[in-house]
Amino acid sequence: MSGISPFHALAFRKLPSGPLMERMMEETVPHPFPAHAQDQLNALSSIEPSGPYRASSVEGPGPGWIERFPIIVHSHLRWDFVWQRPQQILSRMAQHHRIAFIEEPVEGSRYAPASLEISEPMDNIIRIVPLLPGPPDGVDEQSRVILQLVRAALADHPLLQGRFERPVQWFYSPMTAPVMLGEFGSAGVVYDCMDELANFRFAPTDIRQREALLLDRADIVYTGGYQLYEAKSAQHPNVHFHGCGVDAAHFGGARLAQTQVPASIANLARPVFGYFGVIDERLDYPLIAALAAQFPEASIVMAGPLAKVEQHQLPAAPNIHWLGQQAYEDLPALAKGFDVCLMPFALNDATRFINPTKTLEYMATATPIVSTAVADVVRNFTPVVAIAHDREEFLDLAARALRSPDAELIEEGVQRAAAASWSQTVADMRGELQSALRSAEDRSMARCPVVDAEATE
């Protein structure tokens, strides 16, 4: 896929064909790339960093806007991928704000014009998937095409028209920032930094420069981990740490008698060591293999989609079961079948700044948890989570969790999960964002004072 950063290779995938594609097309509204836009594309240029921090300019968005401003999101993650931080936050923000969720492009037919697949997966969430005929020369060229498509859609698409005046732009990745910043008449910029993407496998070489630009233009920065908070606080004056939340009632379903363990694991040999989440370079695969060897009578269940790893690269053993992606609504039932919940993360650059959402989700299921010594897990979740500093300790703690789970620590975890709602997290974030937008408006008014007409006569 020449011209597409390898970091985006997962997102820039080919859409399925046949009946599945036909159903997808029936559920979405195509929005073609306007023929006149190519001339406009040629006139666009990338935005370059231009000095110290500068907040967005808010120019009279109107009364009540601060309570209902629309949001345009730029995400490197799919809305229908693993249900995680972006979906948890934005689904709750959508109770107050209209949200357009722009994903990275997928590759469609080379014979069809560039277009957008636009749908509404839930109330007030408009999902926008760019469909390009082939990979362009680079991320900025790709972003310029998408920019023109979105501009046109905002002007006349029935799900978007008139609904996104003076939006706040919300970034999960800095890759599109050079093209998208300052567009759509935006009144503010949010950077929700959930990972240190520069440390991930196949990260673009210029991602740090793009992030520096985004940090320069952002009104507010959120981080998903405390290590990230410390790092970004040195680069921006308005950074807020909002770590994991949890839908405790949802994952508490694992504790209910009526919840049935799915067939995929109900008949596996017990005990079951279980993990759900993305299967990528952040996992310690030799550790997983060692766990399977140490407990040959047990089942090791790894449930989640593959990202930047291939099936043949995964450890293979009769008692390791790779289940693939699971629906969010099915996770409590899956976890009910776990005897021990695993967080077998490798300790590398990709995990240095992570704060796994699954920690509190596991806690809500009332299951013992064993993790490697990820910094944010150590800081935020001990002693509820048993922390291993090497392979031998991990295997020992896994055996101990099976043999004698600590009921008091498990109950403490249940209580911590109950007190860490996503709804409260989002309420706090929304209040901080409103404050940042008011401050930006005040600075804008100070730079452009009202002139007394009579005094100038």
pLDDT in tens, 406-452: 999 999 999 999 999 999 999 999 999 999 999 988 776 776 655 55
Beta bridge partner(s), residue 301: 274, 321
- E strand segments, 90-143: 99-102, 106-107, 115-122, 125-132
CB of 21 closer than 8 Å to CB of 106? no
Tokens encoding 384: 């509820």
d(CA 122, CA 99): 10
pLDDT in tens, 97-154: 999 999 999 987 777 899 999 999 999 999 999 999 876 668 999 999 999 999 999 9
User: pLDDT at residue 9 above 90?
Assistant: no
318-351 burial: b if 16+ Cβ within 10 Å, else e: ebbbebeebebeebbbbbbbbbbbbbbbbeeebb
Strands in 272-276's sheet, in edge-to-edge order, are 320-322, 299-303, 272-276, 340-343, 369-372, 385-388
Per-residue pLDDT band for 179 (boundaries 50, 70, 90) equals very high
What pLDDT score does 71 carry? 98
pLDDT in tens, 49-58: 333 334 444 4
User: pLDDT at residue 453 above 80?
Assistant: no
H helix runs in 44-195, sequence order: 65-68, 85-93, 139-156, 177-180
What pLDDT score does 376 carry? 93
d(CA 310, CA 451): 64
User: pLDDT at residue 37 above 60?
Assistant: no
d(CA 348, CA 307): 17
Q: Give the list of residues 6+ apart from residue 423 with CB closer than 8 angstroms, or none.
A: 92, 245
What pLDDT score does 136 carry? 61
What pLDDT score does 60 carry? 45
Q: Give the list of residues 6+ apart from residue 309 with CB closer than 8 angstroms, or none.
A: 279, 280, 281
What pLDDT score does 365 carry? 98
Residue from 299, 282, 283, 280 nearest 291 by CA: 299
pLDDT in tens, 198-215: 777 777 888 999 999 999
H or E stretch at 230 = helix 226-233
d(CA 446, CA 423): 35
DSSP labels, 395-420 = HHHHHHHHHS--HHHHHHHHHHHHT-
Give the number of other CB atoms < 10 A from CB of residue 357: 21
Block residue for tokens 């120019």: 59
Of 206-210, 351-355, 387-391, 453-457, give the lowest mean pLDDT range: 453-457
Residue from 229, 251, 248 nearest 240 by CA: 229
* Long-range contacts at 319-324 (CB < 8 A, ≥ 24 apart): 319/269, 319/292, 319/295, 320/288, 320/289, 320/292, 321/264, 321/265, 321/268, 322/279, 323/264, 323/265
H helix runs in 295-419, sequence order: 331-336, 358-364, 375-381, 391-403, 407-418
What spatial distance separates the first Cα and last Cα of the chain, rounded to whole Å? 64
CB of 320 closer than 8 Å to CB of 344? no
pLDDT in tens, 263-317: 999 999 999 999 999 999 999 999 999 999 999 999 999 999 999 899 999 999 9
Residue from 212, 151, 152, 184 nearest 71 by CA: 184
Cα 415 to chain centroid, rounded:
26
pLDDT in tens, 322-368: 999 999 999 999 999 999 999 999 999 889 889 999 999 999 999 99
- C-alpha dihedral sign at 274, 275, 279, 282: negative
Beta bridge partner(s), residue 273: 300, 340
User: pLDDT at residue 39 above 70?
Assistant: no
Give the number of other CB atoms < 10 A from CB of residue 390: 12
d(CA 196, CA 351): 9
d(CA 153, CA 216): 28
pLDDT in tens, 41-77: 343 333 343 333 344 444 445 668 999 999 999 999 9
